[in-house]
Amino acid sequence: MTIIKASPTPALPAPLSETSVIGWMQKNLFSSVFNGLLTIAALYIVYMVVKGMWVWGIADAVWVADSRRECFSINPDGACWAGIFAWVDNIFYGRYPREELWRVNLGILSLFIWMIPLWLPRVKAKISIGLTTVFLYPFLAGYLFSGGDKGIFMQIMLTAAIVCLAGNTIHATIGVFTGRSLPEFLSSLFGKKNVHEKTQRNIFLGIIALSFVSIYVWQMSWSLGGVSWTKWGGLFLTFVVSGIGIASALPLGIILALGRRSKLQVARVLCTSFIELFRSVPLITVLFMATTMFPLFMPEGFVLNRLVQVIIAVCLFNACYMAETVRGGLQTIPRGQFEGAHTVGLGYWQTMGLVIMPQALKHMIPNIVGNFISLLKDTTLVSIIGLFDVLNMLRAIGKDRTWLGLHIEPLVFGALLFFLLCFVMSKYSRHLEEKLSTNQNN
């Protein structure tokens, strides 16, 4: 008997479960009697839920009507989406003056234009794009949203923001087509490609100064009407609060986390107690504290409006949660990295900024996005304090005279809205995590 055969054994056919639907079903759904019963039970539940939602939400639903009464007369069993459509402006913008809505839209659009380059692979200098988004965009958006008289500071910042937005956009367009940055492109345009770096920089700065001056002069010619913050509302307000929260939570959180890990005793004790204080109480108590106690903390005659109070509370609260995330990320960095940085002569801030943070942030991305998601969800709490955010707007539909008692549909709509936002964010963070982890293995 020979063990070694002259001809290779023919390959077996692929297992049934990999080739046919029935085989797959047998393997994954009906592998045993118990599993089969489980599948049937699950199928029944899915069928009931989907059917119920389909009939209520789509098949029997009323899409066009003028009032809830009319909805009832058309079909009393289905959802009355007509109420949502009638209130859609309120849900998204609150009571923002209708003729000024373009300002909100423009503000949101400019944010997109500002941030899209961050996702384009050929664009360079993404860190400075990100930084300008955090530090300059708020002035542009703030003025667009609230309007009113421009102070001298506001004029300067607004001009800087506009110059930056234009520069960013041109830079990104050039980057996409040529793969070069704006300064490089400009110097090659003027034929100064081979001159000294300083000359190139001076040309670039000159162009910036020129555009700054011209835009400054241009923006003096117009101003926008003031819109009080009490008119802000709906999803717009939710985005304002959570956006400021997101933008400030990370830097504040990094500072707090560094403080908590610091060798300075005083800083460590202070940061630790601050973090633990805010993490051990519910957000709603912090919001209450902001609205009842902040007015007492302020010097006499200095009044913060409620929106600012709420935003401060949200920022502090989320900074503490972010601090713990950052601390977790810092702990994943091996000691050798700190020691290596010290050995090459870097000081504390250089070590942190150039060596530790870039690595730690990469580890933290999923958790940071998770924090952002919970921040977005938590922003609905401001409705309890009496701000007309998206949830309060949705609840106001049921109190409106024509749509009296329409409660469930708005809530379902709101849940759907948040689900979409949060789900997309969490899927994106999963994608990012996978992308970064493969990079690491290479």
Partner 1 sequence: MATWFGTTNLRCKKSEYQGENVVAVSDNNKEYVHIKPKEQFDFFHDKRVRSAFYQFLIAAAVAWFAWSLIGNTAQNLESRGMHTGFGFLKVAAGFDSSFKLISHEPGVGTYGRIFIIGALNTLYISALAIILSTMLGFFIGVLRLSSNWLVSKVALAYVEIFRNTPILIQIIFWYIGVFSLLPRVKNSIDLSFGTGNLLLNNRGFYIPWPIPGDLLWLSGVAIIIAVIAVVILRRWAQNRQDKTGQIFPTFIVSAALLIFLPGIVYFMTGMPLDWDIPKLEGFNFVGGASLPPSFMALLFALTIYHASYTAEMVRAGILSVDKGQDEAARSIGLRKKWAMSLVVIPQAMPAIIPPMISNWMSTIKNSSLAIAIGYPDMVSLFMQTSLNQAGYAVELVGMTMAFYMFVSLTISWLLNIYNKRVQLVER
Residues that bind partner 1 (CB under 8 A): 28-29, 31, 35, 38-39, 42-43, 45-46, 263-267, 270, 276-277, 279-285, 288-289, 292-293, 295-300, 373, 377-378, 380-381, 383-384, 391, 395, 398, 407-408, 411-412, 414-415, 418-419, 422-423, 426
- The answer to whether 279 touches 260, Cβ cutoff 8 Å, is no
d(CA 147, CA 263): 46
Side-chain-side CA neighbours of 93 within 13 Å: the count stands at 17
Q: Of 31 and 105, which has the nearer Cβ to partner 1?
A: 31
Q: Of 122 and 342, which has the nearer Cβ to partner 1?
A: 342
Q: Of 193 and 377, which has the nearer Cβ to partner 1?
A: 377
Q: Of 3 and 266, which has the nearer Cβ to partner 1?
A: 266
Provide CB contacts within 8 A for 178, sequence distance 6+: 185
Q: Provide, rounded to whole angstroms, the least separation between the CB of residue 355 and partner 1.
A: 20
DSSP 153-214: HHHHHHHHHHHHHHHHHHHHHHHHHHS--HHHHHHHHTT-TTS-HHHHHHHHHHHHHHHHHH
Q: Provide, rounded to whole angstroms, the least separation between the CB of residue 23 and partner 1.
A: 13
Q: Tell me how many degrees the CA angle 195-197-202 measures, rounded to the nearest 5.
A: 95
Encoded tokens for 130: 């990100």
Q: Provide, rounded to whole angstroms, the least separation between the CB of residue 17 and partner 1.
A: 11
Q: Provide, rounded to whole angstroms, the least separation between the CB of residue 380 and partner 1.
A: 5
Q: Provide, rounded to whole angstroms, the least separation between the CB of residue 249 and partner 1.
A: 17
Q: Of 15 and 295, which has the nearer Cβ to partner 1?
A: 295
Measured N-to-C along each axis, helices 265-279 and 306-331 cross at an angle, to the nearest 10 degrees, of 120
- The answer to whether 258 touches 352, Cβ cutoff 8 Å, is yes
The phi and psi torsions of 305 (rounded to 5 degrees) equal: -80, 165
Residue with tokens 């730690």: 360
Q: Provide, rounded to whole angstroms, the least separation between the CB of residue 313 and partner 1.
A: 12
- The answer to whether 63 touches 78, Cβ cutoff 8 Å, is no
Q: What's the first-to-final CA gap in the chain, in angstroms?
A: 48
Q: Of 207 and 289, which has the nearer Cβ to partner 1?
A: 289
Q: Of 152 and 344, which has the nearer Cβ to partner 1?
A: 344
Q: Of 158 and 406, which has the nearer Cβ to partner 1?
A: 406
Q: Provide, rounded to whole angstroms, the least separation between the CB of residue 349 and partner 1.
A: 13
Q: Provide, rounded to whole angstroms, the least separation between the CB of residue 414 and partner 1.
A: 5
Encoded tokens for 304: 């913060």
Q: Provide, rounded to whole angstroms, the least separation between the CB of residue 265 and partner 1.
A: 6
Provide CB contacts within 8 A for 379, sequence distance 6+: 238, 241, 242, 245, 314, 389
Q: Of 145 and 388, which has the nearer Cβ to partner 1?
A: 388
CA 57 → CA 105, 115, 149, distances in Å? 30, 36, 47
Encoded tokens for 421: 């936002």
Q: Provide, rounded to whole angstroms, the least separation between the CB of residue 282 and partner 1.
A: 4
- Other beta carbons within 10 angstroms of residue 354's beta carbon come to 11
Q: Of 167 and 328, which has the nearer Cβ to partner 1?
A: 328
Q: Of 71 and 165, which has the nearer Cβ to partner 1?
A: 71
Q: Which residues of 333-352 are buried (b: 16+ CB within 10 A; e: fewer)?
A: eeeeebeebeeeebeeeebb
Q: Provide, rounded to whole angstroms, the least separation between the CB of residue 67 and partner 1.
A: 20
Q: Is 232 helix (H, G, I), strand (E, B) or coil?
A: strand
